[in-house]
Amino acid sequence: MAAMRFTATLCVLLHIVVICNAGVTSSYVRKSEPSIDMPVGSFPPPTGNNAPEQVHITQGDHVGRGVIISWVTPLLKHPNVVTYWEAEGKHKRRAHSTITSYRYYNYSSGYIHHATIRNLKYDTRYFYELGTHHVTRRFSFTTPPKVGPDVPYTFGVMGDLGQTYDSNQTLEHYVSNPKGQAVLFVGDLSYADNYPFHDNVKWDTWGRFVEKSTANQPWIWTAGNHELDFAPEIEEYEPFKPYLHRYHVPYKASQSTSPLWYSIKRASTYIIVLSSYSAYGKYTPQYEWLSQEFPKVNRSETPWLIVLLHSPWYNSNNYHFMEGESMRVMFESWFVENKVDLVFSGHVHSYERSDRVSNVKYNITDGLSAPVKDPSAPVYITIGDGGNIEGLANSFTQPQPSYSAYREASFGHAILEIKNRTHAYYTWHRNQDSEPVAADSTWFYNRFWYPMDETSSSTNMV
Ligand SMILES: [Fe+2]
């Protein structure tokens, strides 16, 4: 009896410092196997001389009426034209690309094209065609509905993808899901930097690998540490050089001064993308931009406020433990004051979903440093489980901290279905299951319009 009382007291004490096990550590154990890159030969260029390749699209303005179409022509600068038209119409328009290229150590890129097409109709399917005469490639995309508070919209969420056989499983699972209309990508794309001299051919093969999705729906890009490609030992001093040449985003439309942080509105969401690997201390450009960004968010227009950043703030995995802490200290109070709904991160190669918690009371004099439940705080989701060459992060801290609602060391992706201004349904799909199975699922309630407790809505199916 005395022992039971002691245990109960200990649990209360532990709960106060928030380390009592309250969430779910999945009992699913993935077979531990090395993650192996698919060979370069798995990704041949498309047939035809100088055929456009590595096609990808992203949002091209602040509201969803613009699209940036990007592609590579390996041998010649031209053709540098995209032809596009409404699926239901006949009138064809043309847009010219800007062309860039770069050298990285002993690698020379092809000609990288970026064409921004604007003033498209909302909620409309368009075809577009690249190339001319003998070699043309045709794709299509659908613009989002007009920005508005009750517009349903469904995002896929992926991160840390790489180009292994596991990456392929993740992508194939996502592509097989008919719901996803755009992808929130939380950084670490090709993992070219894991090869000698950051073999940039791996950037090309990655572009071909993901084309089946990126050519047909926008991927919203976030920069991760594997985009840095900072390698002074081979005299490559310019951070983010390959990434910034290859992946353009509409940063100027949100008054940002850098493509590494920006925002967009899409349907009923306001999405803020931050850079974990750019300066964010007080007075820095990113800090100043974000301070001016939050007041621009009108929840009557875009109820759902979502942030993408690479290095997670709430991570109970031993891999990359506490790496996001300095950015959390800088920005978490803003996230709580502005009632951010969801924060998606990558970096850690496993999956974790938090409860709504904050840790904003701490200062250098008061010693209060434990996360507490907070209905104004975001849910933090770590989804760096795309399946890259570095393998799984399969070592969680013990015991599971109470802020951690669900965690599992498996590869997978998520689907976020925004239903209206109050409700969104969220599912996480591990690669070992068939796509309709959700290993983790929950309703999210909007923090501005319906700030109710969601914890009873979780339906973990482990
Ligand atoms: Fe990372």
DSSP states along 273-284: E--TTS--STTS
C-alpha angle 316/369/275, rounded to 5°? 60
Q: What is the CA(123)–ligand 1 centre distance, in A?
A: 34
In the chain, what's the furthest Cα-to-Cα distance?
85
CB atoms within 10 A of CB 300: 10
May I ask the CATH architecture of the domain 147-187+260-456?
4-Layer Sandwich (3.60)
Q: Residue 352: which residues within 8 A CB-CB, separation 6 or more?
A: 312, 314, 315, 316, 317, 380, 381, 382, 404, 406, 407, 408
Q: What is the CA(346)–ligand 1 centre distance, in A?
A: 6
β pairing state of 379-383 and 342-345: parallel
pLDDT of residue 8: 38
β pairing state of 93-96 and 98-100: unpaired
CB atoms within 10 A of CB 296: 12
- Contact call for residues 242 and 192 (beta carbons, < 8 A): yes
The DSSP result for 185-249, as a single string, is E-S----GGGSGGG-THHHHHHHHHTHHHHTTS-EE----GGG---BGGGTB-STTHHHHHH---
Q: What is the CA(172)–ligand 1 centre distance, in A?
A: 22
pLDDT of residue 34: 77
- Contact call for residues 60 and 68 (beta carbons, < 8 A): yes
- Contact call for residues 271 and 243 (beta carbons, < 8 A): no
Cα-based distances in Å from 220 to 57, 181, 184: 9, 11, 5
Q: At what angle do helices 201-209 and 165-176 cross, to 10 degrees?
A: 30
Residues in the chain: 462
| Separation between Cα atoms, residue 4 and residue 106, nearest integer Å | 67
Regions of the chain with pLDDT less than 70 = 1-22, 31-32, 456-462
Secondary structure letter of residue 119 according to DSSP? S
pLDDT of residue 362: 84
Q: What is the CA(391)–ligand 1 centre distance, in A?
A: 12
In the chain, where are the structural domains located?
A: 147-187+260-456
pLDDT of residue 458: 57
Q: What is the CA(203)–ligand 1 centre distance, in A?
A: 16
Among candidate residues 305, 367, 308, 301, the one with its CA nearest the CA of residue 336: 305
Instruction: List phi, psi (to 5°) of 115.
Output: -120, 125
Q: Can you read off the two tokens belonging to residue 107?
A: 């690698």
- Contact call for residues 153 and 269 (beta carbons, < 8 A): yes
pLDDT of residue 357: 98
| Separation between Cα atoms, residue 351 and residue 330, nearest integer Å | 24
| Separation between Cα atoms, residue 404 and residue 424, nearest integer Å | 20
pLDDT of residue 23: 86
Give the SS3 label for residue 168. Answer: helix
Looking at the annotation, which residues are catalytic? 320
Q: What is the CA(320)–ligand 1 centre distance, in A?
A: 9
Q: Helices in 86-193 by DSSP H: which ranges?
A: 165-176
